[in-house]
Chain A
C-alpha cells in the first residue's frame, strides 16, 4: 500500500515538472495525450465498464466542441461557463439518440453508434441550421479565462488538461466503485442475471451512456479552447476508432490501462514521425499483434475486492 503511494507521488511529481524540461512541441503532444486520455476514460465508462459496444463517442465530443465554439463566437459567452453547458448539451443529445437504441446488443449497438457519429459529421459539414460553418468549421474561439488568468501557451494548457484528467480519474474511480458502478459492472458480466436480480438494465445503461457523453462534451470544450478553430474533420468516425482502440488496447475497464493506452496510441506515432508514411502501416499491424498476444489489453483491471469478509455463514466465515 505504502509502495503504491510512493510510486503514485513520484509519477505525479514527474508529470507536474514535465513541461519545464520539454519543448513546446512535446508539451503539445502530451496535451493531446491528456485530452485523449480523458475522452477514453469517459468512453471506458460506457465500453469497458458497462460493456456497451460504443464506437460513436466522437459525436458527443463534437457536440461539446461545437456548443462551445458557436456560443463563444456568436454570443461571446466565456469558455469556462460553456464547459458545463457543453457537457449538458452532449448529454441531452446522448439521451435522445440512445433512448431508442440502448436495448440493442453487441455488434448492433456498435454499428448504430457508427451511424450516429457519421450523421453528426455529415450534418456539421452540411452547415446544419446555418451555424456550424460547414466544412471550414468555426474559428476565432477565445481562450479560457480563469479569474483573470488567460490560458494560452501549451505549457499552461498542460496543467489545465492534466488537472482535469486528475479530476476525471478520481470521479470515474469513485463512480466505478459506487453502488451504481457495481450495478453497471454486473450488467457487463451478465445482463440476464442483472435483470433478474432487479436491476433496471435499460435505465442503468442509458445513464452510463449519458454520463460518458457529458464528460466527452466537456472535453470538447477544452479542445475548442485549445485549438481556437474546429472543423468536422476532427470529429470523424476515425476519431471514435482511435478512442475505441485506446480503451481496448489499454485494458477495458481499467483506468490505469486506458491512460497507458492513450500514451501508446497518441504518443508512439509521434516518436516515429520521421517515418511518416510507413508508421500507420506498422500501427495497424501492431494493433493485430497486440490483440493476438494480449487480447485483454496491456493493463486489464485488477480483480475486485469488495468488503465481503465479514459475512458469516453459520460457523464458517468467508
Chain B
C-alpha cells in the first residue's frame, strides 16, 4: 500500500507538469485548431533558460530559496511567453488560411529548429541542474514521507491552473479568448481583435509550459534538448484525454495521465511506461473521442 501512495503522489506531481503543458496545447487548439508540435520544445526552452538564470544570477543567494525560485519561474514564464508569441508570428500566422497539413509541417519544422538551436547553444549531453536550490526535506503525511518538492510542484501547478481558469472565465480578455475559440469570424464582427487574442494565447500557453520546464529541471535534476518531444506528446495525450479545447479538461487529463502512468510503471512494467500513455490515448479516442470533459462538437473535420 505504501508503494501505491508513493506512486500516487509521484503521479500527481508529474501529472501537474503534464497538465501545465497540456493547457498550452488545449488553448492553442481551442482557438486555432492547430496541434502546436513546437510546444514541447518551448517547455525545453523553459528548462534551459531556467538553468542559465539559476547559475548566472544566483537568485536564491540573496532572495532566499523559495522567493528566488518564484522570481525565477516568473522570469522564465515571461521569456518563454515572448518566444511563443514570436513563434506564432513567424511560423503560424502566415499559414492561417492555408491547408491544415501545412501548418502541421510548419510546427514540426519549428520544433526541429528549436531543439537543434538548444543543442547548438547548450550541447547535446544531459545538463545538470544545481541540486541545492530547494532544501531536500520530506513532509510526513499519515506516516508517508513525501519529498517537499513534489508537494510544491503540485501546489504550484494547481495555483497556475486556477489562475488561468479565473483569467479565462472572469476577465474580459478571457471572454474574448472563449469567443474566438467558438467562432473567429463572429468574434471579429463583435469587435474582438482576433490577432491580439491569438498572441495572448501564444503568450500564456508557452509561459505555463516554460514554468513546467523549470519544475522538471528541479525535480529530475537533469535536462536534455530532446526531452520536449516526450513531454509534449504526453501533454497532448492529457489534453485529448480531458477533452481538447477544454481548460478544466486539460487539468484533469494531465493529473489523471500522471497517476495512470505512475501506477502503471509500478504495477505493470516500467519499460512499458510510455506505451501505457499511448494506450490510454487510443482507448479514450475509441470509447469517447471527445475526452472526459469535452462536449460533442458537430463539425470536427
CB contact list, B244-296 vs A, under 8 A: 269, 271-272, 274-275, 278-279, 281-282, 285-286, 289
**Shortest CB–CB separation between residue B230 and chain A, in angstroms?**
9
Among the 9-residue stretches B11-19, B47-55, B68-76, B103-111, the one with 4 or more Cβ atoms under 8 Å from chain A is B103-111
Tell me if B142 is interfacial: C-beta within 8 Å of chain A: no
In Å, the complex CA distance between A244 and B237 comes to 20
| A287 in contact with B109 given A104-B285, A108-B285, A191-B301 (CB within 8 Å) | yes
* B interface footprint on A96-119 (CB within 8 Å = 1, 0 otherwise): 000011001111101110111011
Q: Which residue of A lies closest to B290 (CB)?
A: A108
Q: Are A115 and B117 in contact (CB under 8 A)?
A: no
**Shortest CB–CB separation between residue B268 and chain A, in angstroms?**
12
**Shortest CB–CB separation between residue B86 and chain A, in angstroms?**
12
**Shortest CB–CB separation between residue B235 and chain A, in angstroms?**
12
In Å, the complex CA distance between A26 and B193 comes to 53
In Å, the complex CA distance between A281 and B116 comes to 5
Tell me if A4 is interfacial: C-beta within 8 Å of chain B: no
**Shortest CB–CB separation between residue A171 and chain B, in angstroms?**
24
Q: Are B112 and A287 in contact (CB under 8 A)?
A: yes
Report which residue of B99, B109, B271, B285 has the largest number of chain A beta carbons within 10 angstroms of its beta carbon.
B109
Residues of B within 8 A of A288 (CB): 90-91, 106, 109-110, 113
Tally chain A residues at the interface, Cβ within 8 Å: 44
Among the 9-residue stretches A84-92, A209-217, A291-299, the one with 4 or more Cβ atoms under 8 Å from chain B is A291-299
Q: Is the interface of A mostly helix, strand, loop or mixed?
A: helix
Q: Are B105 and A101 in contact (CB under 8 A)?
A: no
Residues of A within 8 A of B106 (CB): 287-288, 291-292
Q: Are B94 and A292 in contact (CB under 8 A)?
A: yes
Residues of A within 8 A of B190 (CB): none
**When the two chains form the complex, which single residue of A115, A237, A248, A290 contacts B101, counting CB atoms closer than 8 Å?**
A248
Q: Which residue of B lies closest to A242 (CB)?
A: B108
Tell me if A241 is interfacial: C-beta within 8 Å of chain B: yes
In Å, the complex CA distance between A291 and B237 comes to 26
Tell me if A286 is interfacial: C-beta within 8 Å of chain B: yes
Q: Which residue of A lies closest to B240 (CB)?
A: A111
Residues of A within 8 A of B94 (CB): 292
Q: Are A285 and B113 in contact (CB under 8 A)?
A: yes
CB contact list, A157-177 vs B, under 8 A: none
Q: Are A291 and B109 in contact (CB under 8 A)?
A: yes
Of the A-B pairs whose beta carbons lie under 8 Å apart in the complex, a sample of 23, sorted by A's number, is: A47-B101, A53-B101, A106-B300, A108-B300, A112-B285, A114-B278, A115-B279, A115-B281, A116-B282, A119-B275, A119-B279, A122-B272, A123-B275, A245-B109, A248-B104, A249-B105, A281-B113, A284-B110, A285-B113, A288-B109, A290-B109, A291-B106, A295-B102
In Å, the complex CA distance between A110 and B34 comes to 12
**Shortest CB–CB separation between residue B301 and chain A, in angstroms?**
5
Q: Are A280 and B105 in contact (CB under 8 A)?
A: no
In Å, the complex CA distance between A241 and B233 comes to 13
Q: Are B108 and A287 in contact (CB under 8 A)?
A: yes
Residues of A within 8 A of B43 (CB): none
CB contact list, B88-129 vs A, under 8 A: 90-91, 94-95, 98-106, 108-117, 119-120
Residues of A within 8 A of B301 (CB): 105-106, 191
In Å, the complex CA distance between A69 and B108 comes to 32
Q: Are A284 and B275 in contact (CB under 8 A)?
A: no
Q: Are B108 and A241 in contact (CB under 8 A)?
A: yes
Interface residues on B, range: 35 or more
Tell me if B151 is interfacial: C-beta within 8 Å of chain A: no
Q: Are B278 and A118 in contact (CB under 8 A)?
A: yes
Residues of A within 8 A of B104 (CB): 53, 110, 244, 248
* B interface footprint on A284-316 (CB within 8 Å = 1, 0 otherwise): 111110111001100000000000000000000
Residues on A lying within 8 angstroms of B by beta carbon are 47, 53, 100-101, 104-108, 110-112, 114-116, 118-119, 122-123, 125-126, 191, 237, 241, 244-245, 248-249, 252, 277-278, 280-281, 283-288, 290-292, 295-296
Q: Are A277 and B278 in contact (CB under 8 A)?
A: no
Q: Are B282 and A105 in contact (CB under 8 A)?
A: no
Q: Are B35 and A111 in contact (CB under 8 A)?
A: yes
Residues of B within 8 A of A281 (CB): 112-113, 116-117, 120
Residues of B within 8 A of A107 (CB): 29, 33, 35, 100
CB contact list, B211-238 vs A, under 8 A: 229, 233, 236-237
Residues of B within 8 A of A116 (CB): 278, 282
Q: Are B274 and A118 in contact (CB under 8 A)?
A: yes
* A interface footprint on B19-50 (CB within 8 Å = 1, 0 otherwise): 00000000001000101000000000000000
Residues of A within 8 A of B240 (CB): 108, 111
**Shortest CB–CB separation between residue B93 and chain A, in angstroms?**
9
Q: Are B99 and A295 in contact (CB under 8 A)?
A: yes
In Å, the complex CA distance between A245 and B111 comes to 13
Q: Are A100 and B275 in contact (CB under 8 A)?
A: no
Q: Which residue of B lies closest to A103 (CB)?
A: B289
Counting from the closest, the 4 A-B pairs by CB-CB distance are A287-B109, A284-B112, A284-B113, A295-B102
Besides the known contacts A111-B285, A118-B274, 9 further A-B residue pairs in the complex with CB atoms under 8 A apart: A114-B233, A115-B237, A126-B269, A281-B117, A283-B112, A284-B109, A285-B113, A287-B109, A295-B102
In Å, the complex CA distance between A202 and B105 comes to 26
Q: Which residue of A lies closest to B29 (CB)?
A: A107
